[in-house]
Homo-oligomer: A and B are copies of this chain.
Amino acid sequence: MVEMNERKKGILKAVINEYILTAEPIGSRTISKKYKLDVSSATIRNEMADLEDLGYLQQPHTSAGRIPSDKGYRFYVDSLIDVERIPESFEEMIRKKYLERKKEVQNIVQVTSQMLSQLTRYTALVASPSSTDYYFQHLQLVPLEGKKITIIVVISSGLVQHQTLTLQHRPSREELGNISRLINDRLQGLPLGKISSEVLGQLERELKDHSIFRELYRSLLTVLTEEGLSQEWGKIHLDGATNILEQPEFSDLEKVKVFLKLFEQEDILRQLLNRIPAEGLQVVIGGEIPLQEMKDCSLVVADYSIQDTSVGKMAILGPTRMNYPKVIAAVNFMAEVISKVMREED
């Protein structure tokens, strides 16, 4: 029975490194020449045959070089990888990027996915927090011209939802003040996940002498409850989609089509990220991805925190042949920077 040994590990690592660079099957001669392993190509040939028996390498066809299998990549990621670090100097630059924009979830998500895709040259996915992580804080009814008013809801960490509607009659300032005070008293501090149509329904019954509430009802549903919020929250932000076009594995137009179509279906992407356990950094390789169409890709996923609570996930999607050290470093780095920036009290 063949077994793994140090030399085999070295060869496996060399093959994978080389394949990541060239995207071409790697022959024994290439390895013996480029990497100083002090053995002949024939020896490497033998070892590579063993590595194939062990399932770490595979041949596209006889008389071609070897390419890594999913199992090979898995071993590489778990045991062979040289950890890279993103220079600390980047941190200040990226921190600035965050601070020069409005500090809202939508922006954080957007900037993060941009940074990630620029840093790695692959496709970045960032899931924004779902509403269940937040608390109701304050509601304000602002009268506009005529019969119009704007409902403004402030949610923990200064996130704001708003909606404009037209009432049956022009409301008095008093009227609005009264009703908003009542609503505020009732909802203060409730987690958004708990504010269901039931809670609002009950409130409606209690406030039935305030005819305005009936009119507000539908809008409040939109601004406060799960269903309404899901339109804006739990969104997936995607960046650098066209980066996949630079990868030789996507020189086939059909494949490109499949992917770009996939990218347009947010719910599928959201499901995908949700299915990956969210502790620290995860690498999901090839067939391990719960999406048949992505069997030739890998995902590097990490969760990020706002105010020290893990609220969302970010991921890089690239070919299985991706530059793991670089991508892992980038994702780790970004997750850390976000968490730092979002912990600060400014």
Which residues of A come within 8 Å of B, CB atoms?
A: 101-104, 137-138, 140, 142, 144-146, 148, 150, 152, 154, 157-160, 162-164, 166, 222, 231, 241-242, 245, 251, 253, 256-257, 260-261, 264, 345-346
Complex CA gap A139/B18 in Å reads 60
A341 to B: closest C-beta gap in Å: 13
Given contacts A138-B142, A152-B152, A245-B257, contact A346 B101 (CB under 8 A): no
Whether A260 lies near B231 (C-beta < 8 A) is: no
In the assembled complex, how far is the CB of residue A233 from the closest CB belonging to chain B, in whole angstroms?
Answer: 13
Q: Of B102, B166, B241, B345, which contacts A346 at CB under 8 A?
A: B166
Q: A140 CA to B101 CA in the complex, in Å?
A: 20
A148 and chain B: residue at smallest CB distance: B158
List the B side residues contacting A166 at CB < 8 Å: 345-346
Cβ-closest chain B residue relative to A146: B345
Complex Cα gap A261–B142 (Å): 42
Which 6 interchain pairs have the tightest Cβ spacing?
A158-B164, A242-B260, A160-B162, A245-B257, A166-B346, A102-B163
Interface of A (DSSP majority class): mixed
Tell me whether B253 and A245 are in contact (CB under 8 A).
Answer: yes
| Extra A-B contacts (18), CB below 8 Å, given A104-B163, A150-B154, A158-B164 | A101-B231, A102-B163, A102-B164, A138-B144, A144-B158, A152-B152, A157-B164, A160-B162, A160-B164, A162-B162, A241-B260, A241-B264, A242-B260, A242-B264, A245-B256, A251-B253, A253-B256, A260-B260
Q: How far is the CA of A140 from the CA of B176 in the complex (A)?
A: 15
Q: Which residues of B contact A152 (CB under 8 A)?
A: 140, 142, 152, 160, 162
Docked complex Cα distance between A138 and B140 (Å): 13
Q: How far is the CA of A257 from the CA of B101 in the complex (A)?
A: 30
The residue that A257 contacts in the complex, of B163, B231, B242, with Cβ under 8 A, is B242
Give A152's nearest chain B residue, CB to CB: B152
Q: Which of B142, B154, B222 contacts A154 (CB 8 A)?
A: B142
Once bound together, how far apart are the Cα atoms of A260 and B253, in whole Å?
13
- Identify 14 residue pairs between A and B in the complex whose beta-carbon atoms are under 8 Å apart, listed by A's number: A102-B163, A102-B222, A104-B164, A137-B144, A138-B142, A138-B144, A142-B154, A144-B154, A150-B154, A152-B152, A152-B162, A160-B162, A241-B264, A242-B257
CB neighbours of A160 from chain B (8 A): 150, 152, 162, 164
Give the docked Cα–Cα distance between A256 and B142 (Å). Answer: 48
Distance in angstroms from A122 CB to nearest chain B CB is 14
Kindly state the separation between the CA atoms of A154 and B138 in the bound complex, as whole angstroms.
17
Cα(A241)–Cα(B137), bound, Å:
39
